[in-house]
Amino acid sequence: MATIVAPLEHSAAEDAQAIREAVKGWGTDKDALISILAHRYYHQRNEIRKAYQHLYEEDLIRRLESELKGSFEGAIYRWIPEPADRDALLANIALRKGKFNHRVIVEVSCARHPEEFLAAKRAYFLHYRHSMEEDVASHTTGALRKLMVALVGVYRYDGDEIDEELAVSEAETLHYFIEENAFGHDEIIRIVSTRSKKQLLATINRYKDNHGTSITKTLARIADNVVADALYAAIGCLTDQTKYYEKVLRNALHNRTDEDALTRVIVTQAERYLWHIKDLYYRRNSERLEEAVAKETRGHYEDFLLALLGNHN
């Protein structure tokens, strides 16, 4: 369930004109930008961007890049594009930074519907002239490369059918190789990268029933192993996104604020499941997510995130 508050009807031309007024002159009216952009769904933002291009013959995102800076600029830059373009952007940023961010690639490939991920891969190729698969392969090695290329290369079946016998068998396969610390084994990669979300969930439930602990808890306890962490993220995104993203937010806010992760979750989930993530966050931390964000962020960056979280500003 989405958290943003947006009008059902709006004038893209009027919004574009208001944004133009906000960026004219020496200063930028950031409050005006938030009042518009944080309260428009992605198709409305796309209409505004087209209207702005038509009226002023310049790209809205490029103009805002030149007007804004810091965390606020980064959040706006990630918010305005439609979802497929945003996912392509997030993947490219994760790949072009000095340190490969496998969590971002896992989220883009595993947390989306198969058609959404396919659209993101098409957008990635359109914008960067390489396939996501080849860029992921060029930034990874060994077992991590095998896992990541498998995750970005698959078109995952999205049906409801479950084979319970297969779930029993593959739960034992996962348990055996994880106990052996063989996180990059071909069988683990095959199961996690090819099974439908419903089938994998049945397998993960069987794993917990048979061994008294969840596979994600087992993987989370393994320190300093990037492949185990990538598996943890993949299984979390595929089987319980709300739980996965709540933990990402908790870690981002409680351990020297990770603004990249904080921005990424709120921006990508504000039109999807952020309401449920907020609810789980409160139940697990006895604190509203809005309160935690307000404590750890400042200025217009704070105001923008709070607006996406549902504040009426």
Annotated binding site: 25, 27, 67, 294, 296-297, 302
* Both tokens assigned to 130: 């390489």
Q: Give exposure, 110-135, as e/b (b: 16+ Cβ within 10 Å).
A: bbbeeeebebbbebbbeebeeebbeb
CA 284 vs CA 2, 45, 142, 144: distances in Å = 20, 33, 36, 31
Compute the distance between CA of residue 221 and CA of residue 201 in angstroms, rounded to an integer: 20
Compute the distance between CA of residue 290 and CA of residue 286 in angstroms, rounded to an integer: 12
Compute the distance between CA of residue 292 and CA of residue 309 in angstroms, rounded to an integer: 12
Helices (H), the chain: 12-23, 30-37, 42-56, 60-67, 70-79, 83-96, 102-110, 114-128, 132-138, 142-153, 164-179, 186-194, 197-211, 215-220, 226-239, 241-254, 259-269, 274-285, 289-296, 299-308
Annotated binding residues for Ca(2+), written as ranges, equal: 25, 27, 67, 294, 296-297, 302
Supply the DSSP symbol for 163: -
Compute the distance between CA of residue 246 and CA of residue 32 in angstroms, rounded to an integer: 30
CA 239 vs CA 32, 87, 110, 133, 244: distances in Å = 39, 20, 9, 23, 9
Please tell me whether residue 129 adopts helix, strand or coil conformation: coil
* Both tokens assigned to 126: 């359109």
Q: What's the chain's length in residues?
A: 313
